[in-house]
Amino acid sequence: MFTWICPKCGREVPPSYSECPNCAGASESSASPAAPAAAPTPVAAAPAAAAPPVVRSFRVPNWALTLLVALVLVSLGMSVYLLTHGSKPAAAPSEQPAAVPIAKRHPLGKYIEVTGIRITEDASQKAQVTFLVVNHSGADIANLGGTLTLKPRGARPDQTPLASFEFKLPSLGPYESKELKDTVRSSMRAYELPDWQFLDADLELTSPKVD
């Protein structure tokens, strides 16, 4: 038996086929709708890795640190001062010493000088003092008298004097000097008193009287 040629596709068809298998398969495939393609399975997106937290560093300026240290030191100093001084009671006002009246100086005191002091003993072993009274003015002074006090040189004002005595002169001419001698009112012997170079003589004139 011979094959035959399909008039549609021009291919040889075996005699056992009444229809061209190629054309029959093409017609069936065109007649039946194609099965829809399977939808692709959605793939879940991998979660994005969490970003690490951003740590912001804070740096204190140098000037702020210096100011803070200075404030702390000042606070400590004030605390120590208040602890050491704040608790002390206020000092009571000191009592002012009573004013000591100043003796009125005799107007002739700036003209009269006592010098040449010498201390000896008389026959009864009492201390005697010999001294010169000098008038440095051009006036004739009558009835000149005063008190002479002997003190150690450099003695304090409140120190007890070594001796004290009075003298009187009927008159003392201009620029004149006279030597006087008197017994020393003192419990000390002559040799117990300092030498003349270690003595100071304080003179207080009592006459002539002035208003």
pLDDT in tens, the chain (211 residues): 567 678 878 788 787 777 887 887 766 555 555 445 555 555 555 555 555 666 566 576 787 788 888 888 888 888 877 777 665 555 555 555 444 444 468 889 899 999 988 888 888 878 888 889 999 999 999 999 998 888 888 888 888 888 888 889 999 999 999 999 888 777 777 777 788 788 888 889 998 887 6
Boundaries of every domain in the chain? 1-29, 111-207
In CATH terms, 111-207 corresponds, of 1.10.3210.10, 1.10.3710.10, 2.60.120.380, 2.60.40.10, to 2.60.40.10
Compute how many other C-beta atoms are within 10 angstroms of the C-beta atom of residue 193.
19
Question: pLDDT for 121-159, tens place per residue?
Answer: 888 878 888 889 999 999 999 999 998 888 888 888 888
Strands 127-135 and 177-183: antiparallel
Task: Count other C-beta atoms under 10 Å from residue 164's C-beta.
Answer: 15
Q: What's the Cα-to-Cα distance from 82 to each of 73, 85, 127, 197, rounded to whole Å? A: 14, 5, 65, 57
Residue 3 DSSP code: -
